[in-house]
Amino acid sequence: MAKILPQTKSAAVNPLKSSQPLGAALAYLGVAGSVPLFHGSQGCTSFALVLFVRHFRETIPLQTTAMDEVSTILGGADHLEEAILNLKARAKPAFIGVATTALTETRGEDFLGELAAIKARRAEQLKGTEIVLAQTPDFEGAIEEGFSKAVVAMIDGVAHRGASPQRDPLRVNVLAGSHLSVADIERLREFIEAFGLKPVMFPDISGALDGTVPAQWIPTTYGGTSIDDIRTLGDATLTIAVGEHMRAPAERLRELTGVDYAMFRELCGLKSVDRLVALLQQISGRPAPASVRRRRAQLQDALLDGHFQFQGKRVAIAAEPDLLYALSTFFVGMGAEIHAAVTTTHGSRILGRLPCDEVQIGDFGDFERMAEGADLLVSHSHGRQASQRLGVPLLRVGFPIFDRLGSQHKCRILYEGARDLIFEVANIFEGVPREATPENLNPFRDRESEHERRAAFATH
């Protein structure tokens, strides 16, 4: 069990984490026809918007209630109501997801009560649009907590309650964690469909943020989980939760609908994907398709080919808890050791399961100090300065990645993703320049001089 080291500094040096509201917005972006709405100042929204645009390189329909000095003191209910009505009139969204920020949370308003009053008072004007709110202050937690809270809020506010009389034995809910990329979600959907099942991915950023260009400008997300699919989550036979931070939404869905869930903390290793295959075979009553067995054989071959490059390597990782766990277990399974582990928040139960001695709650200042002597750094794009100063290569993972193209189209889960990750990392190790072998370690060099030295020694 890893020892969790708390942050003791009074200021962050090159921050590692992003905020809870950003995580909530990411979850809302996975719903079709949605507009995320930050209840706070314009600055809070602008900062998140810049990160989203730089990472996804897509149009992001992120809006704000634009709280000013007066509303901050007197209360922001009027601003929230005005923003919702304006969005409804201009964009006509199917869904508005509200995320609070530190500005409004510090004041301590009754947000849920205010939203309920607005929905009751403006019921006719807001007809056809679902509105939910997640309380996500910036001053605590990180992306995973905000993402999880937003998914719980959507389940609470949209999903039908009670056991469904129309359970579909082939329908499966998949609660996709914030650490999964567009490609991860797409491949996971195809993987489940190969067993003849009907997966409902929720949230589904692969529809809204997959790099396609719509025929005309759309003021909302143009893909993702439909509102009808969210309403009927209780019709599924099982929920598959990917990532420990998806446990809370899975448990909430079980409380409301009676649909049980299976937890997968990671899908980067052979053992965990085998467990998923066994589960899908049990649900569908079908054997694993030939395509799945072929990808598994390819991963086995990649494990044999790549483990020589990983053996004994020291890896330093800075990431959100679930991504940190998935990558740590992957590298340890390949024969590497976790030289340093830094994460964003202490709230996740997964941190105690990390395959290392200790994990630091910290920033890139801590990461750079702890990573000295490592063979590989693993983090998002803000780790590039540490990579340059330490002279150690950087594997870019997580959010945000803004100095490389195509990060959202890299799959790092299931058999195929694990295979490609092995090759990607092994090639990084192969590309590191090596010092020339010292001359005294070459037994075939200067053999005559060595013979003369030994003869002289024997004479004396």
pLDDT at 103: 85
The answer to whether domain 18-140 and domain 171-289 are alike in fold is yes
Amino acid in the structure at residue 88: K
21, 130, 159, 167 from 163: Cα distances, Å:
32, 22, 11, 9
Choose among 12, 245, 36, 43: nearest CA to 149: 245
> Residue 14 — very low, low, confident or very high, per pLDDT cuts 50/70/90?
confident
Mean pLDDT throughout 6-13? 85
> Which residue's entry shows tokens 């309403």?
231
pLDDT at 281: 98
pLDDT at 458: 55
Cβ-contact 143, 26 below 8 angstroms: yes
Cβ-contact 132, 80 below 8 angstroms: no
Choose among 383, 161, 126: nearest CA to 258: 161
> Residue 49 — very low, low, confident or very high, per pLDDT cuts 50/70/90?
very high
| pLDDT at 82 > cutoff 90 | yes
pLDDT digits (tens, 9 = 90+) for 171-226: 999 999 999 999 999 999 999 999 999 999 999 999 889 878 888 888 999 899 99
How confident is the prediction for the chain on average, in pLDDT?
92
The packing angle between helices 20-28 and 42-56, to 10°, is 60
pLDDT digits (tens, 9 = 90+) for 371-399: 999 999 999 999 999 999 999 999 999 99
pLDDT at 28: 97
Cβ-contact 356, 317 below 8 angstroms: no
> Which residue's entry shows tokens 């997640």?
134
> Residue 107 — very low, low, confident or very high, per pLDDT cuts 50/70/90?
confident
Mean pLDDT throughout 46-67? 92
- Compute the distance between CA of residue 52 and CA of residue 29 in angstroms, rounded to an integer: 11
Which residues partner with 97 through β-bridges? Answer: 36, 132
Amino acid in the structure at residue 74: L
pLDDT at 135: 95
pLDDT digits (tens, 9 = 90+) for 131-183: 999 999 988 999 999 999 999 999 999 999 998 888 999 999 999 999 999 99
> Residue 10 — very low, low, confident or very high, per pLDDT cuts 50/70/90?
confident
| pLDDT at 453 > cutoff 60 | no
Q: Out of 3.40.50.720, 3.40.50.300, 3.90.78.10, 3.40.50.1980, which CATH number does the structure's domain 295-431 have?
A: 3.40.50.1980
The DSSP H or E segment spanning 112 is helix 111-121
Choose among 28, 24, 207, 49: nearest CA to 105: 24
| pLDDT at 434 > cutoff 80 | no
Helix (H, G, I), strand (E, B) or coil at 181: coil
Which top CATH class is 18-140? alpha beta
Query: Model pTM greater than 0.85?
Result: yes
DSSP 353: G
| pLDDT at 265 > cutoff 80 | yes
pLDDT at 106: 85
Q: Residue 240 region, left (φ>0) first, then alpha (ψ -120 to 50), else beta?
A: beta
pLDDT at 11: 83
pLDDT at 2: 84
pLDDT digits (tens, 9 = 90+) for 112-136: 999 999 999 999 999 999 999 999 9
> Distance from CA of residue 46 to its chain's centroid?
21
| pLDDT at 452 > cutoff 70 | no
| pLDDT at 73 > cutoff 80 | no
Mean pLDDT throughout 419-444? 79
| pLDDT at 233 > cutoff 80 | yes
pLDDT at 42: 86
> Residue 459 — very low, low, confident or very high, per pLDDT cuts 50/70/90?
low
Which top CATH class is 171-289? alpha beta
Structural domain spans, the chain: 18-140, 171-289, 295-431
Choose among 314, 279, 290, 319: nearest CA to 412: 319
Sequence-distant (≥ 6) Cβ neighbours of residue 455 within 8 angstroms: none
243, 365, 420, 424, 429 from 416: Cα distances, Å:
19, 34, 6, 12, 20
Q: Which two tokens stand for residue 267?
A: 């899908």
Instruction: List, as one string, the DSSP characters of 390-412.
Output: HT--EEE-SS---SSS-GGG---
pLDDT digits (tens, 9 = 90+) for 277-332: 999 999 999 999 999 999 999 999 999 999 999 999 999 999 999 999 999 999 99
Mean pLDDT throughout 245-265? 97
